[in-house]
């Protein structure tokens, strides 16, 4: 059974957003917020002042311009950044508007974004949103506060999902061109298309990057339903397949596994991380384990 997100009126949207807030509040307060704070707070450093060199100072902090001007060593004093920026990059290609069990992938992503967003809001950090498919389609600039997070959830739930091939490279390039300051970047997709290794490398060097591959059971394994017509939600391409063939089902599953192995290796090579999250998984446990690392 394929789920469909029916057309929602304002009351429906408010109700669904509220339900997500209630469901995520306990998980956020109980586990994620504390781990988020300890994992990321204080990682960034920002310039504070210049003062004369003192014994024991890190020589890498020497301000060579001022040192040359005054003919004695000066060092730059850095302080921990107390405010972080979290960016949520969400794939809104048509394959994300899909589900065969309790909820669509887009609804599941909205709930994870709510948990991350409320964790950030609880630590007085800013949260921004980039919605992309074959290109960047909408940007919500980073802001603070609970109302802003509720607005982000609503955007993810109600935006029109696009019948186009997903292009995460376009989202990465936009991030790097617009957001100069190092951010925590969470990118949500089913990764039907693989990222470019070079772009991934540059993004992971500039920002702290975590990919979350959100998938449905039927994305990786096809049941025996006889001859069936399959349609690619992103390209519209159609193909008939004999799902009664055990060999066909095995080869399909193997292709999916190999593709995800490649993408995981690409993220790891870039010093980034990729989590596989099925829509029936408890995402809070997986995020908690990631934050602890």
Is 194 a residue whose pLDDT tops 50? yes
The CA radius of gyration of the chain, in Å to the nearest whole number, is 22
Taking every pair of C-alpha atoms in the chain, what is the biggest distance, in angstroms?
A: 83
Look up residue 240 and give its two tokens. 């008939």
Q: For residue 139, list its beta bridge partners.
A: 130
Q: Phi first, then psi: give them for residue 241, nearest 5 degrees.
A: -145, 145
- CATH domain 10-41+82-216+271-292 topology: Rossmann fold (3.40.50)
Q: How many CB atoms lie within 10 A of CB 218?
A: 13
- What average pLDDT does this structure show over 184-192? 93
Distance CA 73, CA 57 (A): 11
pLDDT in tens, 211-245: 999 998 877 778 778 887 777 767 777 888 888 88
Is 14 a residue whose pLDDT tops 90? no
pLDDT in tens, 73-90: 988 875 555 578 899 999
Distance CA 85, CA 6 (A): 33
Look up residue 176 and give its two tokens. 């790097």
Q: For residue 285, list its beta bridge partners.
A: none
Q: Please, how many CA atoms are within 13 Å of residue 184, restricted to the half-sphere of its CB?
A: 21
Domain boundaries, the chain: 10-41+82-216+271-292, 45-80
Q: How many CB atoms lie within 10 A of CB 86?
A: 24
Query: Pick from 189, 185, 201, 217: which is nearest to 266 by CA?
Result: 201
Task: Report yes or no on whether pTM surpasses 0.85.
Answer: no
Q: Detail the DSSP E strand segments found in the chain.
A: 45-52, 74-80, 85-91, 126-132, 136-143, 184-189, 208-215, 227-231, 238-242, 273-278
Average pLDDT, the chain: 83
pLDDT in tens, 63-72: 898 899 888 9
Is 37 a residue whose pLDDT tops 80? no
- Quick one: DSSP state of residue 164? S
Helix (H) or strand (E) holding 9: none
């Amino acid at each position: 059974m394929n789920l469909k997100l029916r057309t929602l009126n304002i009351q429906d949207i408010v109700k669904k957003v509220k339900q997500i807030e209630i469901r995520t509040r306990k998980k956020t307060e109980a586990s994620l917020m504390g781990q988020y704070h300890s994992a990321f707070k204080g990682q960034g450093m920002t310039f504070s002042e210049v003062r004369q060199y003192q014994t024991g100072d890190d020589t890498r902090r020497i301000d060579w311009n001022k040192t040359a001007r005054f003919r004695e060593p000066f060092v730059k004093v850095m302080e921990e950044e107390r405010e972080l920026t979290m960016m949520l990059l969400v794939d809104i290609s048509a394959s994300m508007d899909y589900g065969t069990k309790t909820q669509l992938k887009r609804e599941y992503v909205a709930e994870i974004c709510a948990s991350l967003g409320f964790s950030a809001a609880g630590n007085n950090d800013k949260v921004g949103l980039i919605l992309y498919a074959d290109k960047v389609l909408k940007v919500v600039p980073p802001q603070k506060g609970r109302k802003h997070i509720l607005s982000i959830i609503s955007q993810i739930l109600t935006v029109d999902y696009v019948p186009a091939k997903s292009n995460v490279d376009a989202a990465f390039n936009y991030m790097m061109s617009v957001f100069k300051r190092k951010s925590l970047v969470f990118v949500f997709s089913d990764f039907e298309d693989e990222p470019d290794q070079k772009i991934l490398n540059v993004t992971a060097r500039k920002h702290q990057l975590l990919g979350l591959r959100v998938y449905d059971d039927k994305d990786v394994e096809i049941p025996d339903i006889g001859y069936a017509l399959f349609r690619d939600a992103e390209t519209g391409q159609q193909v008939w397949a004999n799902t009664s063939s055990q060999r066909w089902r095995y080869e399909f599953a193997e292709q999916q596994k190999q593709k995800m192995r490649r993408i995981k290796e690409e993220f790891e090579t870039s010093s980034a991380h990729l989590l596989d999250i099925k829509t029936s998984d408890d995402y809070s446990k997986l995020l908690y384990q990631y934050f602890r690392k």
